Structure 1
Amino acid sequence: MSPTDTGVLDTLGMFDAAFGLPDQMAAAVELASSVDGLPDASAVTSILVLGMGGSGISGDIMALVASEHGRVPVEVSRHYELPSHVGPHTLVMAVSFSGDTEETVVAAEAAVAAGAPVVAVTTGGALGDLVSAAGGGVCGLPKGIPLPRAALGAVGLTPVVLATRLGLLNDTAAAVDAAIEAVAGRLGANAGASGDTDNEARTLARHIERTQPIIYGGGRTGELAAYRWKGQVNENAKAPAYWGSVPEVCHNEICAWGQHGDVTRQVNSMVYLRHDGEHPNVSRRFDFLAQITAEVVAEIFEVRAKGDGSLANFYDLAAFGDLVSLWMAAEAGVDPGPIPAISDLKAYLAG
């Protein structure tokens, strides 16, 4: 999209990518369901998912699914180094949209050296070459995705489908279908990306305005969605945002509310990401948080997930958060696609 045809600045088509998420999810499932060359997983006793940034969240999604469907434990690593236990009994899934994410490639090299079965989820690059040469499996991603953070459906569902095929997750087909259905419903209810669009996502973006949102999510599902929201506000809107998990913030962060309320009331807003699968005491903790923060933040907003099951709830909240972050960018006249700070960092490290 260009500002001349829609009134919204979006040179890389991030709005189009957001609204294309259900199709992306379905295409990723089809690719992962048919790819061949996967390793023998009969001796695997654990899964390690490698990834960074928009690709790194794939491991968190796998862990979320494994909490309900898992047959082996799942670990996530966002580091150059591997955990010392990795070896022939650990399936390593290395996820990198570009295939050239430095940390992921280095860790995948170590996994190959350790004799671990390795599967790469990537569009190619050094990672694809490495894993292919080592005899591991390589699963591609759907075409037409502009940037890694726009690939949430592909990088999130592909490892789930592959692990299910390998017998490391119990049947996940219904959970995946429910996630696609939930996303389609949420996006359909928030359609439009023009100057005169009026929907819930844009309304929330306008309410947040120039405050710095603190996003709290309940339980495993909510905390993962809050993490995603925070990163999307950072990268799309180029704005500060923070996240926390309930109940964890009730063991530390609540102690900070009340001090400097005159400052936080001007600077911060709060977004609560809720879902029907919360533990009853998580719900009570949200009630208490609202009581103690109501006077020290600009405003508190609540978004409740729709859909059947944890995976659907996560993707529903994430899809809505993506739109909110894009509308925050639009309202500020910011192009959501380019990320010059990260480009500058890569240039610095290369020098």
Structure 2
Amino acid sequence: MKSKVEILEDVDAMRRIDPGGMLQWCMAFPKFCREAVSLARKLSLDYAGVQRVIVAGMGGSAIGGEYLKQLFIDRPERTVPVEVCRDYFLPAYADEKVLVFVVSYSGETEEALNVFADALKRKCMIVCISSGGTVTRFAEKLKLPHIVVPSGLAPRAAFPYLFLPMPILMQKLDVAPDISPEIEEAIQILEAMENEVSPQKALEENPAKKLACELLETVPVFYGFRFYGAVAQRFKQQFNENSKVPCRWDVFPELNHNEIMGWEAPRKLTNLFFGGYASRP
């Protein structure tokens, strides 16, 4: 049997332990981003007077809301407050001046469907993002603006489709700045990295494989700051779901007031996180 490190040099072996095809979806990430941007630009909206935005979703369908919430944290021009709703009901303040993004990759998420009904009752402005299911059927029947994204993916792999349309649509409604240049730059960087982190590239030349070796047999910890908080959260979730390992995340400066004290725990415990580094002089 190959060791875990040896598997990194055998593409066929990697595919055998990845029956869901997550690896190929990760490599298609730049392509998904371009398709998501195209879908958003084709959607027409007839809303006005948006004063708040709420992203309603769960799990992989909600993390895009966290990114959206922090995306404009240092961009006050033409932005409105953004909140994420991981619940069955909207916050009490939600009314006809609130834009609700109902995000459910499957279109069948129980909590998202309940919030959808709640948003209708409160006469909120609604945009749906889904690959189909009940969410899309309701949106079509009610003639609400909606985006139908490609089906057949794991929700976490559909991140570009579930996130990128939201800032683009907010810009269309004049409640967010135009970040098209930043999105294009990010996609170009991802495209440039495709060969650098390709599964076919040897370990000694592949930063992704090198990082995997460094993290082997550890419990990864990710810390973020301000708009990188959602990035840390996303990393944690990806390790949980893709690698099936425990992982945690936190944000500065809050962690300076509590989390940091946890690292005074016995070396036997902290070594689980640092792979023995804590024992080194």
The question of whether the paired residues in 2 share the 8 Å contact of 1:25 and 1:154 is answered with yes
Normalised TM-score (structure 2): 0.88
User: 1:294, 1:140 → 2: CA distance?
Assistant: 47
The equivalent of 1:34 in structure 2 is 42
Whole-Å separation in 2 of the counterparts to 1:219 and 1:71: 17
Stretches of structure 2 that go unaligned for 5 or more consecutive residues are 1-9
Aligned match of 1:18 = 26
The change in CA–CA distance for 1:193 and 1:127 in structure 2 (over 3 A counts) is farther
Conserved in 1, the CA contact under 8 Å of 2:226 and 2:252?
Answer: yes
Task: After superposing the two structures, state which structure 1 stretch, 164-173 or 108-117, moved more.
Answer: 164-173
Give the drift of 1:65.
Answer: 2.4
**Code of the aligned partner of 1:188:** N
CA distance in 2, matches of 1:94, 1:197: 41
Write the letter of the residue equivalent to 1:159. M
- Superposed, 1:1-351 pairs within 5 Å as 6-8=12-14, 9-36=17-44, 38-40=45-47, 42-67=48-73, 68=75, 70-141=78-149, 143=150, 146-193=153-200, 197-198=203-204, 199-221=206-228, 223-265=229-271, 267-269=272-274, 295=278
Q: Is the 8 A contact 2:224 2:232 kept in 1?
A: yes
Paired with 1:218 and 1:185, the residues of 2 have a C-alpha distance of 26
Q: Is the 8 A contact 2:67 2:231 kept in 1?
A: no
**Could you state the TM-score of these two structures normalised by the residue count of structure 1?**
0.71
The match for 1:347 is none
How far residue 70 of structure 1 moved from its aligned partner, in angstroms, is 4.7
- TM-superposed CA distance for 1:5, in Å, is 6.8
How far did residue 18 of structure 1 move? Answer: 0.6
Write out per-residue CA displacement over residues 2-59 of structure 1, whole angstroms, 9 at most, x where no aligned residue.
xx972212222211111111111011111110123x341x221111111111110111
Report the secondary structure of 2:171's partner residue: helix
Aligned-pair identity in percent equals: 28
Deviations 1:42-91 (A, max 9, x none): 22111111111111011112112232265211111111121001110000
Q: For 1:152 and 1:188, how far apart are their aligned partners in 2? A: 21
Question: What is the CA RMSD across the aligned residues, in angstroms?
Answer: 2.3
Q: Deviations over 1:131-168 (max 9, x none)?
A: 33333211121x36521100121111011111111222
The match for 1:323 is none
CA drift at 1:269: 2.6
Cα distance 1:244–1:5, how it changes in 2: closer, same or farther (>3 A)? Answer: closer
**Matches of 1:78 and 1:6 in 2, distance apart?**
39
Q: Residue type of the partner of 2:124? A: A
Distance in 1, matches of 2:189 and 2:256, equals 30
Q: Which amino acid aligns with 1:120?
A: C
